[in-house]
Amino acid sequence: MQSRNPVHRRLTRHWPILVFTLGNGGGTIMCYFLDTTLTSSFKGVWSGSPRAQTLCQIYTSIFFLLMSILWWLYWSLYQSNPGFVTLGSGDVPSQGLQRQCPYCRCAPPLRSRHDHQTGRCVVKFDHFCSMLQTPIGDLNHARFWLFVVLQAFFAMWGTCVCWEATTCLQPLYNRTAQVACWKVHPGRTVLLLLFVLFTSSAAQGLSGLAMGHSYLACTAQTTYELLKGAKVSYLASHYASYDGPQMLPHRVRGVRLLLRQHLKFRHPPPAPFNQGVIENLNSFFFQPKPIAYHEQYRYAGTVSQL
Ligand SMILES: [Zn+2]
């Protein structure tokens, strides 16, 4: 639910921008001033042999290109329409089964859900992303996947760059060099190690998120459907004959359960929109949105159960 206090609402809306800017912009500036490969690459664009200059130009260009894409993805997602269903222009028209949303009174298509943060129904609702301050739905899920993958890449890249710069620890067996290094640059070494700790934790979380959403894209499911399982009206009939867990717990145990169902029992949770990996990925990335999901839906019971 949105806060009624306007100051609180504004802070809630804008703090993720600050975190994103500090994490990526601040992190890049820090990597530059802490004398890492990024520093030598930036400086090498104008100095050194022609071959070294070319390599530095390629490295720097790739870095700025990917960073620009990351910032564009963030802003585009921050302001995006995930697939809101209302009667207003530019929104997703109602289609398929005409049931009315008890909150916003619109007639949402199959697979949509009311998002309480924005107070509107969203087509193929996945989850509300606090970092982007937007729901993830049919219209922005593929972009969100790309953003998470790129952000995970930058977190890994930051970890590698800073770890590589902590020469005091490499090689670990050269104690004389380590002691000398700590004595000469103690502040820099501590900062680099803190940065390694931060970026490696972020990389771990983000790569898990990227893998999770890749799984969802391959199996044509959403986070909401996977977590709520039998509680989702159009999945209830499918879960009636399913001997696995009826709902997936939110925490790590849920992921373990899911992997066990897949790898050990080869019995994944019901996914009535699954059309095979290739078709699912084609639909996820390339098909025009919003998709009429009632045409893809495979009924497992009676229509009245919807
Ligand atoms: Zn609604």
Ligand 1 centroid to residue 172 C-alpha, Å: 59
Ligand 1 centroid to residue 6 C-alpha, Å: 23
Q: Which residues have C-beta within 8 Å of that of residue 160, sequence separation ≥ 6?
A: none
Do residue 147 and residue 270 come from a single domain? no
Q: What's the domain range around 289?
A: 223-305
Ligand 1 centroid to residue 90 C-alpha, Å: 16
Ligand 1 centroid to residue 114 C-alpha, Å: 4
Q: What is the pTM of this model?
A: 0.85
- Judge whether 273 lies within some domain: yes
Do residue 204 and residue 284 come from a single domain? no
How many residues can be counted in the chain? 306
Compute how many other C-beta atoms are within 10 angstroms of the C-beta atom of residue 163.
17
Ligand 1 centroid to residue 88 C-alpha, Å: 13
Ligand 1 centroid to residue 104 C-alpha, Å: 4
* CA distance readout (Å), 123 to 4, 8, 85, 96: 26, 28, 7, 12
Ligand 1 centroid to residue 116 C-alpha, Å: 8
Do residue 192 and residue 267 come from a single domain? no
- Judge whether 1 lies within some domain: no
Note the pLDDT of residue 184: 67
Q: Answer with the one of 219, 244, 262 that is the final residue of a domain.
A: 219
Backbone angles phi, psi at 243, to 5 degrees: -95, 5
Number of domains in the chain: 2
pLDDT tens over the chain, length 306 residues: 555 666 666 677 788 888 999 999 999 998 888 888 888 888 887 787 888 888 888 999 999 999 999 999 999 999 899 999 876 544 554 444 557 888 888 888 888 999 998 999 999 999 999 889 899 999 999 999 999 999 999 999 999 988 888 766 555 556 666 666 666 677 888 888 899 999 999 999 999 999 999 999 999 999 999 888 888 888 888 888 887 777 777 776 777 777 777 766 667 888 889 988 999 999 999 999 888 888 777 765 444 334
Ligand 1 centroid to residue 120 C-alpha, Å: 5
Do residue 47 and residue 192 come from a single domain? yes
